[in-house]
Amino acid sequence: MSTLKANAVQSLSGSGTNVTIGNTSTYVSDVGGVTQNTVQGLLKAWTVNASSSAGTVGDSFNNSSFSDDGTGQTTVTLTNPMNTATDWCVTQGATLYYPYVSKAESTTTHSLDTVSGAGNFTNGSSNGMCSGDLA
């Protein structure tokens, strides 16, 4: 096996440092016991501080819009679609009130909903991460 050592990587055109990783690329685990597919292990989208009352997002990746669907109910629309409507995962954490429903609704949308301690929809702030296969 060969070892590549470099302080910088430059594209063949001579400008920039773009490196393309193929969808079959793997990495070795921290302890070296297993290998994992690099592309499958990446987050495909994320949302930070999505406010259901203000209809705003603090920061995001691969999101084209955020909509207020009612008290405590929001929909996030992805820029780049997932492969299927059912084979992807949304993980949610709330910074104000409690996370409730966080699920894929289609290849391009998912919900981030919040409820009160009594279980009623209430306006809050959520963070979400999407994993799975992009189309």
Taking 80 as the threshold, does the pLDDT of residue 64 lie above it? yes
Domain boundary assignment for the chain: 45-132
Taking 80 as the threshold, does the pLDDT of residue 1 lie above it? no
Give the pLDDT of residue 68: 86
Could you report the per-residue pLDDT of 72-106, keeping only the tens digit for each? 888 899 999 999 988 888 888 876 677 677 788 99
Please give the single-letter amino acid code of residue 94: A
Give the pLDDT of residue 44: 92
Token pair for residue 66?
């955020």
Q: Which residues have CB under 8 Å from 60's CB, separation 6+?
A: 45, 46, 47, 48, 50, 66, 76
What's the average model confidence in pLDDT over 8-21?
Answer: 73
What's the average model confidence in pLDDT over 111-123?
Answer: 86
Could you report the per-residue pLDDT of 15-41, keeping only the tens digit for each? 766 777 888 888 888 888 898 888 888
